[in-house]
């Protein structure tokens, strides 16, 4: 949905699709005590069915977005993946492969073309059986890939006609639990073990770690793992690392005026950090947990700040707060100003469409961006 249901997937293309929009608007406790909702990573079944229906009936703007989406190379059932162990320096190909798994899963669900399901299975199975080691310093590749790998796997696993075998599901579960989770968990906590830094993750990387961990937790239906990520987001007494808390007053990232901690660094990193918080809020929403409301709708303020500044308005208030371990200049950075991260539709859908609030700067940005596509590691 995104401005009604929208979701998108195609590197740097303008497209947009429906994503999660059902659940109550009432804030609920910070732990999830009911059964996990599956599929429930970015999209519920209702969201996926909505996408499919809007494409079937060629409803604007979903059908136009789909037409662009299917032209992306990572939406092709002929995509060639390259699974490998992840060594020093990382391996950015894993990000593209994860995108391709996710995009092919979406293509299959919408079109019914079994070749896309086969491609998504092939990519997930290849990584699950080939990648047996992942160096901790390549955590950026891990958190970038974890969301999309798990979102693809979630669709296949919980749609009976996907053809994904129990053996393959078990292999993938072991891969994300035993290879990917330790990397993200180690860098989030700063354990100093297994090649991980002894400094806890902060800024956009810290919340990126938490985002990847949440996706894994939902796929595994692991309550303890899920609660760990929620507590990190909230920065409460149970948090493993308050540096990744959403709100600055909890020791985290976004000030009450909406200014992100890395706004003095450039404009790519603060938007990327904001995007990861939004994706965590969206995943939690699919699970019946409202993280969007936290911090007096802090993500609304963040989207408005980023949209305002990147539209060229110099009146956006600058806090110069930095992050736990980094400080920046006395003015917001001009570097990458006007370059956009594709998650504004998610926020607009929640705060304006669901809740009836106002986001005038975000709307101005979306009028330039629509149909919103994806940039970098964010699905849009």
pLDDT for res 145: 96
Q: Residue 138: inside a domain, yes or no?
A: yes
**% the chain with pLDDT above 90:** 74
Q: What are the pLDDT digits (tens) for 47-65?
A: 999 999 999 999 987 888 7
Interatomic CA distance for residues 56 and 310, integer angstroms: 36
Neighbours of 256 (CB within 10 A): 14
Neighbours of 151 (CB within 10 A): 27
Q: Residue 203: inside a domain, yes or no?
A: yes
**Predicted confidence (pLDDT) at residue 18 exceeds the cutoff of 50:** no
Q: Residue 361: inside a domain, yes or no?
A: yes
Band of pLDDT at residue 21, cut at 50, 70 and 90 = very low
Q: What is the CATH number of the domain that holds 142?
A: 1.50.10.100
pLDDT for res 374: 58
Q: Could you tell me if 27 and 355 are in contact, meaning their C-beta atoms sit under 8 angstroms apart?
A: no
> What mean pLDDT value characterizes the chain?
89
**Predicted confidence (pLDDT) at residue 257 exceeds the cutoff of 60:** yes
Q: Could you tell me if 146 and 97 are in contact, meaning their C-beta atoms sit under 8 angstroms apart?
A: no
Name the more confident of 288 and 68: 288
Q: Residue 26: inside a domain, yes or no?
A: no
CA-nearest of 175, 169, 97, 87 to 130 is: 175
pLDDT for res 159: 97
Interatomic CA distance for residues 164 and 136, integer angstroms: 29
Lowest mean pLDDT across 8-22, 81-95, 295-309: 8-22
Band of pLDDT at residue 323, cut at 50, 70 and 90 = very high
Interatomic CA distance for residues 306 and 288, integer angstroms: 27
Work out how many domains the chain is built from and give that number.
Answer: 1
Q: What are the pLDDT digits (tens) for 147-203?
A: 999 999 999 999 999 999 999 999 999 999 999 999 999 999 998 887 888 999 999
Q: Residue 12: inside a domain, yes or no?
A: no
pLDDT, mean of residues 37-42? 97
User: Which residues neighbour 180 within 8 Å (Cβ) at sequence distance 6 or greater?
Assistant: 134, 142, 145, 146, 149, 212, 216
How far CA 245 is from CA of 11, 146, 342, in Å, comes to 29, 20, 22
Rank 189-203, 315-329, 354-368 by mean pLDDT and report only the highest. 354-368
Q: Residue 10: inside a domain, yes or no?
A: no
The secondary structure of 43-79 as a DSSP string is B-HHHHHHHHHHHHTT-TTHHHHHHHHTTSGGG-TT-
The residue range of the domain holding 341 is 45-369
pLDDT for res 32: 54
Cis peptide before 39 (omega within 30 of 0): yes
**Predicted confidence (pLDDT) at residue 16 exceeds the cutoff of 60:** no
This prediction has a pTM of 0.90
Q: Residue 261: inside a domain, yes or no?
A: yes
pLDDT, mean of residues 205-226? 97
Interatomic CA distance for residues 222 and 220, integer angstroms: 5
Q: Could you tell me if 77 and 118 are in contact, meaning their C-beta atoms sit under 8 angstroms apart?
A: yes
Q: Residue 4: inside a domain, yes or no?
A: no
The DSSP code for 96 is H
pLDDT, mean of residues 194-221? 94
User: Which residues neighbour 187 within 8 Å (Cβ) at sequence distance 6 or greater?
Assistant: 136, 139, 196, 197, 201, 205, 209
**Predicted confidence (pLDDT) at residue 15 exceeds the cutoff of 50:** no
pLDDT for res 375: 57
pLDDT, mean of residues 227-242? 93
């Amino acid at each position: 949905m995104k401005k009604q249901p929208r979701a998108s997937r195609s590197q740097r293309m303008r497209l947009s699709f429906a994503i999660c929009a059902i659940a109550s608007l009432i804030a609920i406790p910070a732990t999830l005590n009911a059964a996990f909702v599956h599929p429930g990573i970015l999209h519920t079944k209702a969201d996926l069915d909505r996408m499919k229906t809007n494409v079937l009936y060629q409803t604007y703007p979903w059908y136009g977005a789909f037409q662009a989406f299917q032209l992306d190379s990572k939406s092709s059932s002929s995509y060639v993946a390259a699974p490998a162990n992840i060594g020093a320096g990382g391996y950015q190909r894993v990000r593209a492969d994860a995108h391709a798994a996710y995009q092919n899963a979406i293509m299959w669900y919408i079109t019914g073309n079994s070749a896309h399901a086969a491609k998504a299975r092939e990519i997930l199975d290849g990584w699950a059986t080939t990648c047996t080691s992942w160096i901790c310093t390549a955590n950026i590749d891990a958190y970038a890939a974890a969301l999309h790998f798990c979102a693809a796997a979630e669709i296949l696993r919980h749609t009976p006609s996907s053809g994904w075998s129990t053996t393959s599901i078990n292999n993938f579960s072991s891969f994300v639990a035993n290879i990917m989770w330790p990397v993200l968990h180690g860098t989030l906590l700063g354990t100093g073990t297994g090649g991980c830094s002894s400094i806890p993750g902060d800024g956009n990387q810290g919340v990126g770690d938490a985002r990847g961990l949440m996706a894994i937790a939902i796929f595994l239906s692991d309550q303890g793992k899920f609660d760990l990520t929620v507590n990190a987001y909230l920065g409460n007494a149970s948090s493993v690392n308050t540096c990744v808390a959403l709100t600055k007053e909890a020791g985290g990232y976004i000030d009450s005026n909406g200014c992100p901690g890395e706004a003095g660094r450039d404009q790519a990193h603060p938007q990327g950090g904001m995007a990861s918080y939004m994706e965590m809020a969206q995943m939690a929403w699919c699970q019946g947990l409202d993280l969007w409301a936290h911090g007096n709708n802090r993500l609304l303020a963040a989207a408005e700040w980023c949209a305002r500044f990147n539209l060229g308005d110099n009146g956006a208030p600058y806090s110069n707060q930095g992050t736990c371990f980094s400080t920046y200049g006395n003015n917001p950075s001009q570097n990458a100003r006007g370059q956009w991260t594709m998650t504004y539709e998610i926020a607009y859908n929640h705060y304006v469409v669901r809740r009836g609030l106002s986001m005038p700067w975000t709307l101005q940005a979306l009028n330039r961006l629509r149909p919103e596509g994806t940039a970098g590691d964010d699905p849009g």
